[in-house]
């Protein structure tokens, strides 16, 4: 078994272009997931048209979301990629509409440089890259030149092959080492070190046991000295504890994983049901003294 010590969070200031910086560490920030796709595993494509998506994003902000993360391509294991043109058709009207309606920071969930560049031009201030700068070599320079904050997530391979690459002898240490490599890629592309946030990629290129171990040993990721984002929402790794529950039946398991993320040092949690998870977050924050 692996040890599970509670970890003290460090504090970080993340600069954002044209907005006040994110002050991370004094409380947990909640990132609301806004999938603008027809094939989301978690919400069934309910926000596939811009008007519905914009309304959903504003509802999340009203419910207490600190950041809205907008994505136009499913990156679940086995998902089919979409073209940059199609992805932009889905997300850019939503980014533009939300940027006009709220001052809340907007994140674009993409690994494509052209999508990120256009989204930042329309009001996004964070780029959330599930590939950790492995898929598109131009994405790092886009983050550098626009000044957008950059989330680097850990994964191995593409969606179609990631489980074939889920081979670890020390999951937490190997994930930390590979995230360190991603940070180096960002620095070489000109991204400022204080603009980087890391995500251990729960459920990505990891079997259930790997994800649970990484979560339990999040202090290993904290050793990178960058703020940590965790996204356990309804992920399939939760079935390692819940048996074969469908995504819609994983909310209580998600709540437990969100709590564990915070107790072990996460600065941001990425969720769909903002209103419900905000209660979880606030109680967990009190446990660690915020």
Q: Is 188 designated active site?
A: no
Q: Is 250 designated active site?
A: no
C-beta separation of 239 from 245 below 8 A: yes
The alpha carbon torsion through 130, 134, 140, 141 (nearest 10 deg) reads -140
CA distance 104 to 57: 10
Residue of 9, 117, 226, 270 marked active site: 270
Residue of 11, 235, 282, 286 marked active site: 235
C-beta separation of 125 from 105 below 8 A: yes
Taking CA atoms, 103 is separated from 65, 173, 251, in Å, by 12, 38, 29
Sheet strands side by side (includes 126-129): 196-199, 149-153, 126-129, 106-109, 67-71, 29-35, 268-271, 229-230
List the structure tokens of 219. 């202090």
Beta bridge partners of 16: 19
CA distance 63 to 145: 33
Which residues are the active-site residues? 235, 270
């Amino acid at each position: 078994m692996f040890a599970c010590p509670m970890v003290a969070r460090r504090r970080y200031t993340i600069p954002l272009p044209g907005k006040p910086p994110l002050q991370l560490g004094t409380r947990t920030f909640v990132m609301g997931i806004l999938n603008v796709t027809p094939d989301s595993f978690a919400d069934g494509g309910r926000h596939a048209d811009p008007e519905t998506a914009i309304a959903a994003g504003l509802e999340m902000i009203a419910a207490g979301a600190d950041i809205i993360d907008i994505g136009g391509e499913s990156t679940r294991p086995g998902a089919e990629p979409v073209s940059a043109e199609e992805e932009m058709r889905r997300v850019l009207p939503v980014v533009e509409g939300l940027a006009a309606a709220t001052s809340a920071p907007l994140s674009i969930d993409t690994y494509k440089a052209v999508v990120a560049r256009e989204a930042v031009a329309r009001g996004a201030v964070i780029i959330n890259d599930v590939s950790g700068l492995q898929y598109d070599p131009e994405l790092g320079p886009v983050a550098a030149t626009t000044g957008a904050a950059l989330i680097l997530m850990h994964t191995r391979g593409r969606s179609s092959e990631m489980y074939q690459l889920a081979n670890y002898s020390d999951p937490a240490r190997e994930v930390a080492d590979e995230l360190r490599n991603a940070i180096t890629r960002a620095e070489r592309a000109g991204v400022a070190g204080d603009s980087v946030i890391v995500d251990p990629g729960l459920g990505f290129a990891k079997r259930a046991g790997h994800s649970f171990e990484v979560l339990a040993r999040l202090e290993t990721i904290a050793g990178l000295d960058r703020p940590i984002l965790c996204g356990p929402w309804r992920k399939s790794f939760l079935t390692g504890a819940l048996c074969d529950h469908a995504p819609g039946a994983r909310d209580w398991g998600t709540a437990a994983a969100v709590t564990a993320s915070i107790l072990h040092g996460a600065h941001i949690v990425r969720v769909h049901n903002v209103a419900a998870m905000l209660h979880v977050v606030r109680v967990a924050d009190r446990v660690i003294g915020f």
